[in-house]
Amino acid sequence: MYRKLLYPLIAVVLLTTACNKGNDLADAYGNFEVDDILISAQMPGELIQYTIVEGARLEKGVVVAMTDTTELYLMKLEVIANQEAISTQSDNIYAQIKVLKGELKNLEREQKRVKNLIKAGAATSKQLDDIEGNIDVVESKIQSVRSQNASILGQVEALYSRSKQIDEKIRKSIIVNPVDGIVLAKLSDLNEYTAPGKPLYKIANMDELDLRVFISGDQLSEVKLGDNYTVKIDGLDGSMIDYQGRVSWISSESEFTPKTIQTKEERVDLVYAVKLRVKNDGKIKIGMPGELWLTEKE
């Protein structure tokens, strides 16, 4: 008799538990992802410095690699030598102009004196014509020398631009880490020849990750940008670890439910992608599954 009463009671308990469990489902499921950055070389050459280690944390501004700059250094020395040679030529030209201006000043003084003598009847117009002819000659020489100097100054400017280009190439030969983050992948090795655009390593800021989930159209009306919801991941012994997730992005277009993604209503064909930004305490990894609980809004 006790067995007849016990079996129905067990059945009721199991049914009640199953019903409660069915109502205790997450509203959406997805995986954690991160916006990684692929760092590439900008200049060709052998990697003479390369300190990348997978899994290591790198700070922004740290020098992590450098390509061989020997050829650029030699080119820089050649430009400097040419600049010095041209500067010497320019100095000589300025010296010539100074001498010619001295001659011109003397002639102009003599011109003034002869004009006064002509007024006094002590000089002839031919003497004045000769002096003025010499003045024209000296002025022509000054103009000619100045034109030479303009050409030299143009060469100086060209060499200056060339020097700046070499400096920029040397700067680009030094690879500086652009962001704080964790090295996800090492894609080159020391002493390996690299080229512009060739990936060196992949890095990402792991302090915050995005949980990308898919929700139905009915759920979409409940979700707003900036709202905070409970996000859960699997813990030890079947327990769940709770986090706060802030809605950072909502897709403007629906799509068919991905095969690897579950929804609370499995019959839903069209869903909307949503990203929730979650602060990482070190337990969340890229690709790890996560759950969104819209009923636990914070």
* Number of domains the chain contains: 3
- Is 1 part of a structural domain of the chain? no
Look at residues 250, 246, 252, 239 and name the one whose alpha carbon lies nearest to residue 283.
Answer: 239
Among 149, 172, 195, give the residue marking a domain's end. 172
Q: What is the pLDDT along the chain (298 residues), one digit of tens a residue?
A: 434 434 333 333 333 333 334 446 889 999 999 999 999 999 999 999 999 999 999 999 999 999 999 999 999 999 999 988 887 777 777 777 788 888 888 888 888 888 888 888 878 888 888 888 888 888 888 777 777 777 777 888 889 899 999 999 999 999 999 999 999 999 999 999 999 999 999 999 999 999 999 998 888 888 999 999 999 999 988 899 999 999 999 998 888 767 655 555 554 578 899 999 999 999 999 999 999 998 766 6
CATH number, position 47: 2.40.50.100
Q: Which domain holds residue 183?
A: 37-65+178-204
Q: What is the dihedral of CA 167, 66, 54, 288, to 10 degrees?
A: 20
Global pTM? Answer: 0.66
Q: Are residues 167 and 81 in the same domain?
A: yes
- Is 105 part of a structural domain of the chain? yes
CATH number, position 223: 2.40.30.170
Phi, psi of 275 (to 5 degrees): -115, 135
Q: Are residues 47 and 188 in the same domain?
A: yes
CA of 2: how far to CAs of 9, 15, 162, in Å?
Answer: 11, 20, 100
- Is 145 part of a structural domain of the chain? yes
